[in-house]
Amino acid sequence: MEERDKHATGPYPDWPEAGGWLARRKKRAELLNYYYPKGQYEKEARREMSSVLAEFEEKFRRWYPALPDSGYSVLHQGKPRRHSRGEDVREAVKLYRAKNVGYGKLSRIHDALDLYYLMEAQSGYYKQEVDKAAQAQKWIGEDHFNEFFPEVAECMQERLRGLVRSGFDTLLKLQERQRQAEQTVQRLVEGNGALWARAAELAGDILMYPVRQMGKKK
């Protein structure tokens, strides 16, 4: 019992982990032996718990191929590196050129617009990932797996709560960089309010996200 207290989440706190079918089966067997050891539980009960583990892992892998790592590297590595608004940037620069904006300013406007739309693309990605993690966290709490392996389920939910917090913090930073890019353009030119109308919708949507739900424990 003392040994179990030292490892509250069992032998695999990062379960489910990435790996082949045989490796995953071995880890499930070790979890089963840890929580439902032979000699203390009937064979039929252990068989049922083995099925619970296998079915839950299969369903979880529809959300993620493995439990996100504690540094959430998968979350941040997946962000887009480019945006698809290049034509909008070029058209905006043409409009400012037609208004006799100097070439030095046009170059800075181009860079600011390019940054703005990149932040917009990344914001959309992070919001999608935050929603996904929040939904997965909720699903774990509602699945019957939570009744039979509560420590494992809580460990998984805590990891996903951390992913949500990391993603939302990143969203706020992206929004601030968008705001700075907008201010850069506003300092260089005048009468550009309509240019940012569509982008403002995304920024407003981010701020309206229900933060209290994301940090809520089951």
For 20-59, the pLDDT digits (tens) are 999 999 999 999 999 999 999 999 999 999 999 999 999 9
Q: What is the rounded average pLDDT for all residues in the chain?
A: 84
Report the pLDDT value the prediction gives residue 135, as an integer from 0 to 100.
96
Residues 172 and 218 in one domain: yes
φ, ψ at 41 (rounded to 5°): -130, 145
Residues 24 and 105 in one domain: no
17 has pLDDT over 70: yes
Residues 62 and 102 in one domain: no
- Is the Cα torsion angle 115, 164, 155, 139 positive or negative in sign? negative
pLDDT range class, residue 9, cuts 50, 70, 90: low
φ, ψ at 38 (rounded to 5°): -60, 145
Please name which of 58, 32, 54 lies closest in space to residue 45, comparing C-alpha atoms: 32
Interval 109-122 mean pLDDT: 95
Residues 81 and 178 in one domain: yes
Report the pLDDT value the prediction gives residue 190, as an integer from 0 to 100.
64
pTM for this structure? 0.77
- Is the Cα torsion angle 106, 108, 109, 115 positive or negative in sign? positive
Residues 117 and 32 in one domain: no
Residues 49 and 77 in one domain: no
Q: Which of 29, 49, 67 is the last residue of a domain?
A: 67
Q: Please state the domain count of the chain.
A: 2
7 has pLDDT over 70: no
User: Residues, the chain, total?
Assistant: 218
Report the pLDDT value the prediction gives residue 165, as an integer from 0 to 100.
96
Residues 101 and 168 in one domain: yes
Give the CA count within 13 Å in the CB-facing half-sphere of 129.
28
What confidence tens digit (pLDDT) does each residue in 75-86 have?
Answer: 999 999 999 999
Q: Which of 9, 38, 67 is the last residue of a domain?
A: 67
Residues 58 and 81 in one domain: no
134, 164 Cβ separation under 8 angstroms: yes
200 has pLDDT over 70: no
Domain that holds residue 33: 1-67
201 has pLDDT over 90: no
In three-state secondary structure terms, 38 is strand
Residues 124 and 147 in one domain: yes
φ, ψ at 131 (rounded to 5°): -60, -45
Give the percent of the chain with pLDDT over 90: 69
Q: Which of 13-27, 123-137, 191-205 has the lowest mean pLDDT?
A: 191-205
C-alpha gyration radius of the chain: 24
